[in-house]
Copies of this chain bind each other. A is one copy, B any other.
Amino acid sequence: MSNLNNLRNKLREQPILTVGGAFDAMSAKLVELSGFDGIWAGSFAISATHALPDASILTMTEFLGVASSMVEACNIPVIADCDTGFGGPGNVIHMVRKYENAGISAICIEDKTFPKKNSFLENESHDLLPEKDFVAKIIAARDAKQNNDFMIIARTEALIAGLGVKEAINRANAYETAGADALLIHSKQKNTDEIFEFTDSWQGNIPLVVVPTAFPNVKLKDLAEHKIRIAIYANQTLRSAHSSMLNILKKIKDGKLHEVENELSSMEDIFKLQKTYSIKEKEEEIEKELKKLGYIT
């Protein structure tokens, strides 16, 4: 882990980190270029780009492939959403080794039962795993990691499951004791009351993480004042891409591409993101060396 993708170091340096959601290497690169502190490789967004439900349908291989391509393209930490950990403690051990080897900075596992449902689905029961069984996964993850700066983020869905702040705090304590490096407290309440009740009552020491999908307009400053150290804007990039593509496709079908063409990024913009010119530059460097070696005159 280089200093650039060391999430723990970044937490030492800044009061609160802003993390942007991505679903492929390009969106991850845009998160980086926009000045975010880290990238969230979220399973909702990655499932969506595969046109598959966010319900443990894609495999670890597929999620890891996407997260790895983000690591290769970017120089800020990638945090991989690993849902329920793809099985029991044995699976979690395998997972941690694979993700850490791939250069990912942190993984996040949640205390739902497998296969999971997306937390924002209405009229769904969101069953939690017994505390003991999720603690077993955290212990497994903690012991499997090799670099101390690789972070295990435990995510409790106690609020999503409607179990209340007290149960959330019990879970949070248990997960910290078991060795979690950070705690993601998730809520779908449309304001911050529930979240702040939690953060104000909790006495733990590990960094707190939130995903403000349901209360997107909360100010960073307010989050920071409530002890939150990482805010993940998980799915706005996806929803923005979805919306803009629908719009442009309609224009093309209606023969009105000219009305919006100037809103599109240029081919040149994309070429730059792809590092297209680095190949040409390298070819020129090699050519110079071939000249020096006498192969070209």
The interface on chain A, measured as residues whose beta carbon lies within 8 A of the other chain's beta carbons, has a size of 114
Q: Does A167 contact B (CB under 8 A)?
A: no
> Which of these binds chain B: A3-11, A29-37, A157-165, A194-202?
A29-37
Q: Chain copies in the assembly?
A: 4
**Complex Cα gap A275–B90 (Å):** 12
Point out which of A31, A47, A131, A276 has the most chain B C-beta atoms below 10 A from its C-beta. A276
Cβ-closest chain B residue relative to A236: B248
Given A18-B252, A241-B244, A242-B273, 10 more pairs with CB closer than 8 A: A28-B51, A30-B242, A52-B275, A72-B97, A90-B283, A118-B276, A213-B267, A216-B258, A217-B261, A240-B263
Question: Using a CB–CB distance below 8 Å, which chain A residues touch chain B?
Answer: 18, 20, 24-31, 33-36, 44, 47-57, 59-62, 69, 72-74, 86-91, 93-94, 97-98, 101-103, 114-115, 118, 120-121, 124, 131-132, 135-136, 139-140, 143, 177-178, 213, 216-217, 219-220, 233, 235-250, 252-253, 255, 257-258, 261, 263-267, 269-271, 273-276, 278-280, 282-283, 285-286, 289-290, 293, 295-296
